[in-house]
Amino acid sequence: MAIDAGVGLLNGMFSASTNYMKAQHTIANSSKFVTEIFAHFSALQADLVPYWELPLGKSPSTFIDKFLPDKYEANPAKFIEFIETFGTHFISRGHYGGVFRLSFNLQNQLRYTMSDTQIKADAKGTFFNILKANGAYGGETVKITESFKSQSELTEFYYGGIANLLKPASWKDWWDSVSGNPWLFKGQLEPITKLIPDGPKNVAITKAIEIYLDKAYLNDILRSAYSFISKAKIGADQVLTYVTRTQELLAQVIPDHRLVGELGSQVKEYIETPEWFYQAKLCYSWYPDGDGGQCSASDRLLCAMVNSMTPWYRDDTDQRGGGCRMKWGIVQQGLTPNWFNQVQI
């Protein structure tokens, strides 16, 4: 869930612009979900030497001159060795500083007692309460609901700076040390070929990098496909056809770049659950046709999140007159693709 903290901090612990990054990770086939909040302290921004003034360096230059032919096909192994030794990109601009990351491991059951808005508010409140306790935030302490506290596991992470964060006064020591010991948390990458003189070897290295990245992508496709097959109850036969196509492309010295992209898109669409679907619910609404004590569910609406079961419900039809009238529905709030409207049970 996206969480916008939207409040400034004191003591320069984070940059004046207070750059917040938000991320949510849903754990498939699990009873938990994770919400994370990041805050950055920008100690400095460095524009490094422009690539047209930056020499490649003696070692990679010597390797290119002595071992790389003018064409990739002449010796693919040497081009792979070059890439694995010297990389594919370099950093031309960097943001350095400190990062504070707060990770909440939350029980899915929270979604039956708290709305997403309440969960976001408690996560954000916990974030600022920690900052306030350490002198980095001047706002009021936020009251956190007991259910959120009892059904969440909190982990703190710090990057950059030097401090023993187990000591009581460690926070000030940490943010005071960030400017002297910054951590690269954001940068602009440029291809290494910008440092290599134009000519046939530059063209060959550019081609080698594309092939290297394509094959890395194909190996990722294989890992995802095998993971799907190991857990899938349906669809494994189709994914096996993707595995065969992936292996055929990997066996080629130069896989077709277009086919690699097309295969990746097909596999992703087939095996990856879209993020919006994790907010889908299977719900039924019922009401008593007679005695009002029957059909007990919250607001007479019982919903299950993806990969979870509904809470227990009670129906006393056997002891009393009447019964329960019920309606089923697959409910998704927000934007969904057109095909979702055709889903049936």
Answer yes or no: is 176 within a domain. Answer: yes
Answer yes or no: is 317 within a domain. Answer: yes
Last residue of a domain, one of 227, 255, 272: 272
Answer yes or no: is 193 within a domain. Answer: no
CA angle 251, 189, 219 (to 5 degrees): 20
Task: Determine the straight-line distance between the first and last CA of the chain, rounded to whole angstroms.
Answer: 28
Calpha distance 287→302 (Å, rounded) = 11
Question: Could you tell me if 298 and 314 lie in one domain?
Answer: yes
Question: Could you tell me if 31 and 119 lie in one domain?
Answer: yes
Q: What secondary structure, in 3-state letters, does the chain show?
A: CCCCCCCCCCCCCCCCCCCEEEEEEECCCCCEEEEEEEEEEEEEEEECCCCCCCCCCHHHHHHHHHHCCCCHHHCHHHHHHHHHHHCCEEEEEEEEEEEEEEEEEEECCHHHHCCHHHHHHHHHHHHHHHHHHCCCCCCCCCCCCHHHHHCEEEEEEEECCCCCCCCCCHHHHHHHHHCCCCEEEEEEEEEHHHHCCCCHHHHHHHHHHHHHHHHHHHHHHHHHHHHHHHHCCCCHHHHHHHHHHHHHHHHCCCCCHHHHHHHHHHHHHHHCCCHHHHHCEEEEEEEECCCCCCCECHHHEEEEECCCCCCCCECCCCCCCCCEEEEEEEECCCCCCHHHHHCCC
* CB-based contacts of 132-135 (< 8 A; 24+ apart in sequence): 134/171, 134/172, 135/10, 135/11, 135/171, 135/172
The whole-model pTM stands at 0.60
Into how many domains does the chain fold? 3
Q: In this structure, which amino acid lies at residue 123? A: A
Res 26: pLDDT? 33
Answer yes or no: is 80 within a domain. Answer: no
Question: Could you tell me if 299 and 332 lie in one domain?
Answer: yes
Exposure letters 228-260 (e unless 16+ CB within 10 A, then b): bbeeeeeeeeebeebbebbeebeeeeebeeeeb
Torsion sign (Cα): 221, 225, 227, 228: positive
Calpha distance 341→306 (Å, rounded) = 17
Q: In this structure, what token pair is assigned to residue 241?
A: 């056809």
**pLDDT at residue 297 greater than cutoff 60:** no
Question: Could you tell me if 154 and 281 lie in one domain?
Answer: no
**pLDDT at residue 120 greater than cutoff 50:** yes
Answer yes or no: is 86 within a domain. Answer: no
Looking at per-residue pLDDT, the higher value among 168 and 137 belongs to 137
For the chain, the maximum distance between any two Cα atoms, rounded to a whole number of angstroms, is 92
Question: Could you tell me if 244 and 117 lie in one domain?
Answer: no
Answer yes or no: is 215 within a domain. Answer: yes
Last residue of a domain, one of 135, 167, 187: 187
Res 318: pLDDT? 63
Task: Tell me the pLDDT tens digit for each residue of 320-338.
Answer: 666 777 676 666 666 566 6
Arithmetic mean of pLDDT, 118-137: 82
Question: Could you tell me if 283 and 161 lie in one domain?
Answer: no
Res 16: pLDDT? 26
Most confident option among 158-167, 206-215, 313-322: 206-215
Arithmetic mean of pLDDT, 121-131: 86
Res 303: pLDDT? 76
Answer yes or no: is 67 within a domain. Answer: no
Res 272: pLDDT? 78
For 338, the domain range is 276-342
Answer yes or no: is 290 within a domain. Answer: yes
> What percent of the chain stands above pLDDT 90?
28
Question: Could you tell me if 30 and 170 lie in one domain?
Answer: yes
Question: Could you tell me if 25 and 111 lie in one domain?
Answer: yes
Looking at per-residue pLDDT, the higher value among 189 and 43 belongs to 189
Looking at per-residue pLDDT, the higher value among 26 and 81 belongs to 81
Res 43: pLDDT? 58
Question: Could you tell me if 41 and 132 lie in one domain?
Answer: yes
Res 60: pLDDT? 93
Say if CB 112 and CB 313 are below 8 A apart: no
Res 255: pLDDT? 96
Most confident option among 70-79, 101-110, 319-328: 70-79
Res 155: pLDDT? 82
Q: Are strands 89-107 and 152-159 parallel, antiparallel or unpaired?
A: antiparallel
Question: Could you tell me if 153 and 242 lie in one domain?
Answer: no
| 281-288: strand order across its sheet | 301-305, 281-288, 324-331
What size, in residues, is the chain? 345
Last residue of a domain, one of 127, 152, 187: 187
Looking at per-residue pLDDT, the higher value among 231 and 84 belongs to 84
Calpha distance 262→173 (Å, rounded) = 51
Calpha distance 264→221 (Å, rounded) = 7
Arithmetic mean of pLDDT, 96-111: 79
Task: Tell me the pLDDT tens digit for each residue of 272-284.
Answer: 777 677 667 777 7
Task: Tell me the pLDDT tens digit for each residue of 10-53.
Answer: 333 332 223 323 333 333 334 456 666 666 666 566 655 665 66
**pLDDT at residue 59 greater than cutoff 50:** yes
Question: Could you tell me if 213 and 327 lie in one domain?
Answer: no
Task: Tell me the pLDDT tens digit for each residue of 210-264.
Answer: 999 999 999 999 999 998 898 877 788 999 999 999 999 999 999 999 999 999 9
Res 81: pLDDT? 96
Question: Could you tell me if 129 and 32 lie in one domain?
Answer: yes
